[in-house]
Amino acid sequence: MMNRRQKTMLVIAAINLALILLFPPFDTFSIYDSDIPTFSGFHFAFSQLSNEVINSSLLYLEVAVVLINTGIAWLIMQDKKDTVHRKVNFQNATLLGVAINLVVILLFPPLENHSAMTYSILPSFQGFYFIFSAPPEHVIVTAMLYLEVIFVLVNGATIWLMFKDNKSPDMTSEQVIERLQELKKNR
């Protein structure tokens, strides 16, 4: 059963996804070199120019980050019936930290000048720039962006599991049945 906070969070996530899909990231193909697209910013989806293409890698990453943050918020905002007052524990703090890291990673992606692009497995990059004021003729290094996101998620999951409380002792089958009956009565 969803509580009021979770419903509000789902509405906010739906609005975020709608905005991301209405204003996707675009790459522009230069007149001089049509092989290498450069990041041209976020535009209205239905105003695409002939030399522009949607940067699908970045769009997929944006959608994934919104969905992951929605899942994190869902876990943080669930009702805890066993506690009298809500306290911030290490698991919730870890989830919040992962969400903040994912947002920062998307706001400051690794960029490189399109003239310096190589076709190696891990391309070089010239730095992290704020996505809305990136220098012209720069391209997002999606391979490095994916690596950043994967490392944040794996580290966050590992830390979250380290802080897991083992409060429930081993129970016999009779105790499990009694506990399930109590939970059924409380609903």
- Mean pLDDT, residues 127-135 taken together: 75
What the block records as the tokens of 94 is 């870890």
In the chain, where the domains are located:
4-186
pLDDT at position 84, please? Answer: 45
pLDDT digits (tens, 9 = 90+) for 89-126: 778 888 888 889 988 988 888 877 665 555 555 455 66
pLDDT at position 82, please? Answer: 52
What crossing angle do the helices spanning 90-107 and 142-162 adopt, rounded to 10°?
170
Higher pLDDT, 54 or 36: 54
Tell me the pLDDT band of 21, cut-offs 50, 70 and 90.
Answer: very high
pTM confidence score: 0.54
Query: Of the given ranges (46-50, 91-95, 128-132, 153-157), which has the lowest mean pLDDT?
Result: 128-132
Contacts of 129 (CB under 8 A, 6+ apart): 108, 109, 111, 135, 138
Integer distance in angstroms from the first to the last C-alpha of the chain? 11
Q: In angstroms, rounded to a whole number, what is the distance separating the alpha carbons of residues 132 and 149? A: 19
pLDDT digits (tens, 9 = 90+) for 133-148: 777 777 777 777 888 8
